[in-house]
Structure 1
Amino acid sequence: MQLATVEVEVVVTVPNQGIGLWMLGAFVLTFGGTRAVTRLIRAGRGPFRNVEVGGTHVHHQVYGILAMLVAGAIEFSYRPGTPGAQILAVLFGAGAALTVDEFALWLHLEDVYWAQEGRKSVDAAFLAVAVGLLLVAGFNPFSDIGQGTANRLVFAALMVVNLTLCVGTILKGKTALGVIGLLVPVVVGLVGVLRLAKPGSPWARWRYRPGSRKAERALRRYPPDRRTRLDALKDFVGGTPHR
């Protein structure tokens, strides 16, 4: 008796773990290079100058937005393999860095690059790097939820709880913790929501009456002239803003 031979082709999809690293590396290098160039322009040193077209200052976020649009359009349309995927990751990361470097401009709708408000751009870049590192390390709260209705209900309840904690953390003025908490469920959000709110945050305005014990504790904990080692690092990376 002759047995029939059945060939079974098993296709295993392996995610390209290096794509995120290419994107993150391009982001860090572009952001660092951009800050170096803008600081030279600010000091009047070197060959670099602001780009103007018809008397209008062309901010570098324009190039960043175009780079991200091109990278996204090509990726979604053609899904290139190696090395095209890596090239698009570098293009997108570089474009994101140029755009995030002027985050304060598109938040305030005015050129506050070297003002105190411009420090939000450095904050946004630091946050983007932190999230990028978590993604490269493989943090994914949406994986391995299991099969079955019970598992999905538990997962949905956990996501609702985590989202509530993250929103509460952001309302307390701790935006970085709130965003990171989306990738590290419950633990980070719980830490952020239990801590004292920063003065001027929505939570402090709603919950801390002027002159109350919590309002005074918040002012002592976060005085207006408070400086930390992280602030010194931001000055080193982004330059000292105008006082």
Structure 2
Amino acid sequence: MGHWLERNIVEPGKLPLLLALASFVLTFVVTRVVTRLIRAGRGPFGNVSAGGVHIHHVVPGVVLVVVGGFGALASRHGPGSGVCAVLFGVGAGLVLDEFALILHLADVYWTEDGRKSVEVVVVTAALVGLVLAGFAPFGVNGVSTDELHDRAAVAVSVAANFLFSLLALSKGKARTALFGVIVPLVAVIGAVRLARPGSPWARRFYRRRPRARARAGLRVYRHDRRWAVPSRRLQDWIGGRPDSQDTRVPQRQ
């Protein structure tokens, strides 16, 4: 394990990225636990206010992202880079946990629109994890011929998966495209199946194919009917169940 970590994480310079990812995920988990306790009226936690203004945790998150980002650029080597990576990861976790609030400029944290924050966090963690698992083919000293061949194969595989994922994304299958970057078979399936109605692919290639449009609409209906409930339950388990009514409060612009 130590040799693998040294060759694939430390030597290519990925240790700060690993620290940032770990702190990012941990911050999101802790933040969601705290906010759910506040929502339930349990524990010693409470909302932070100053002068009657509710201070969302995206505010300290932005500060930490700025400090960690500029600090990482200033100290690319040594322990300082690790510290800055942790600060950046914590800040990014706080910011993206309230991504939906930034997107809508409204307090939609516990509404249906607030689910976008959970989706963005999962997407970000998955993509950064993919970069870590990609085993950079460059920047490692003393690589044997077999290792170079293996790393080249990994790079080609990742590039092919990325192209299939882009194709799936053009067909309106964002989640399939995301997981396709990690699981090649998912990307291939998403790329070859019918596009979702209204997607760029459907608008371009189904415009004069009424049968294809009808089949695509029927497939989407059956898919959403089958997977909508499990997907919502998973999101509720990760981020908490939204309020039954939309009680968003517009933010000052």
Answer whether TM exceeds 0.5 for this pair.
yes
Aligned to 1:222: 224
- Note the residue ranges of structure 2 that are not aligned, 5 or more in a row: 1-9, 141-154, 245-253
Cα deviation per residue 1:91-110 (whole Å; 9 max; x = unaligned)? 11111111111111122222
Quick one: structure 1 residues 199 and 34, their matched pair in 2 at CA, closer, same or farther if it must change by over 3 Å?
farther
Distance in 1, matches of 2:220 and 2:137, equals 32
Amino acid at match of 2:103: L
The yes-or-no answer on 1:235 pairing with 2:236 is: yes
Quick one: structure 1 residues 212 and 141, their matched pair in 2 at CA, closer, same or farther if it must change by over 3 Å?
farther
The yes-or-no answer on 1:93 pairing with 2:93 is: no
Residue 108 (structure 1) aligned to one of 94, 104, 122: 104
- DSSP-derived class of the 2:191 partner: helix
**8 Å contact kept, 2:75–2:81:** no
Amino acid at match of 2:240: G
Aligned to 2:189: 191
Distance in 2, matches of 1:192 and 1:40, equals 39
- DSSP-derived class of the 1:222 partner: helix
Tell me the CA shift for residue 133 of structure 1: 1.9
Distance in 2, matches of 1:218 and 1:202, equals 15
Aligned to 1:173: 172
Distance in 2, matches of 1:57 and 1:202, equals 40
Quick one: structure 1 residues 16 and 199, their matched pair in 2 at CA, closer, same or farther if it must change by over 3 Å?
same
Aligned to 1:30: 27
Distance in 1, matches of 2:139 and 2:102, equals 34
Distance in 1, matches of 2:129 and 2:98, equals 21
Identify which of structures 1 and 2 has the higher relative contact order when contacts are C-alpha pairs closer than 8 Å and 6+ apart.
2
Distance in 1, matches of 2:110 and 2:203, equals 28
Amino acid at match of 2:238: V
Cα deviation per residue 1:159-191 (whole Å; 9 max; x = unaligned)? 6x876644432243332443455678x865443
Amino acid at match of 1:235: D
Amino acid at match of 2:236: D
Aligned to 1:16: 13
Tell me the CA shift for residue 76 of structure 1: 1.0
Residue 40 (structure 2) aligned to one of 13, 29, 43: 43
Amino acid at match of 1:51: V
Distance in 2, matches of 1:26 and 1:238, equals 17
Tell me the CA shift for residue 47 of structure 1: 2.3
The two structures, once aligned, show a CA RMSD in angstroms of: 3.4
Amino acid at match of 1:192: G
Quick one: structure 1 residues 95 and 176, their matched pair in 2 at CA, closer, same or farther if it must change by over 3 Å?
farther
- DSSP-derived class of the 1:226 partner: helix
**8 Å contact kept, 1:141–1:183:** no
- DSSP-derived class of the 2:107 partner: coil
Distance in 2, matches of 1:142 and 1:201, equals 37
Q: Alignment identity in percent?
A: 44
The yes-or-no answer on 1:125 pairing with 2:100 is: no
Tell me the CA shift for residue 217 of structure 1: 1.9
Within 5 A, what are the aligned runs for 1:76-91?
A: 76-81=73-78, 83-91=79-87
